Amino acid sequence: NAGVMQNPRHLVRRRGQEARLRCSPMKGHSHVYWYRQLPEEGLKFMVYLQKENIIDESGMPKERFSAEFPKEGPSILRIQQVVRGDSAAYFCASSLRTGENTEAFFGQGTRLTVV
């Protein structure tokens, strides 16, 4: 049973380009979360999705960032017109359910570098 798969592992973009980060949850998991970790900082919640639905996007920047989790295929975190401050590690996690003591499993992350 493969874990949470993220690709690419490393992504370099020039300022103004678009970045697309992909996440395939663990088999059977329908809950997906995206987190961002800036250098020397803790992980910050961005968005929580279930299949075809955004449940909570309270951690998403208001502009340039969007996320989806289509019926078929991986979850996508999309960053338009990237800026240097977007450089970070982006982690995706998935869980089988939500609620007390639910374990979330993390992917290996995508390290985005904006040059």
Partner 1 sequence: RKEVEQDPGPFNVPEGATVAFNCTYSNSASQSFFWYRQDCRKEPKLLMSVYSSGNEDGRFTAQLNRASQYISLLIRDSKLSDSATYLCVVNHSGAGSYQLTFGKGTKLSVIP
Residues contributing to the site for partner 1 (CB under 8 A)? 31, 33, 35, 41-45, 48, 55-56, 58-59, 89, 91, 93, 95, 98-109, 111
List the beta bridge partners of residue 21.
77
- Please, what is the minimum distance in Å from the beta carbon of residue 81 to partner 1? 27
The set of residues, in sequence order, having a beta carbon less than 8 Å from that of 21 and lying 6+ positions away, is 6, 8, 11, 76, 77, 78, 79, 90, 92, 110, 112
CA distance 83 to 56: 24
For partner 1, which is the closer residue by CB, 44 or 78? 44
Residue 85 is given by DSSP the state: G
- Please, what is the minimum distance in Å from the beta carbon of residue 13 to partner 1? 19
What is the Rg, in whole angstroms, of the alpha carbon atoms belonging to the chain? 13
For partner 1, which is the closer residue by CB, 17 or 98? 98
For partner 1, which is the closer residue by CB, 10 or 15? 10
For partner 1, which is the closer residue by CB, 1 or 101? 101
- Please, what is the minimum distance in Å from the beta carbon of residue 71 to partner 1? 20
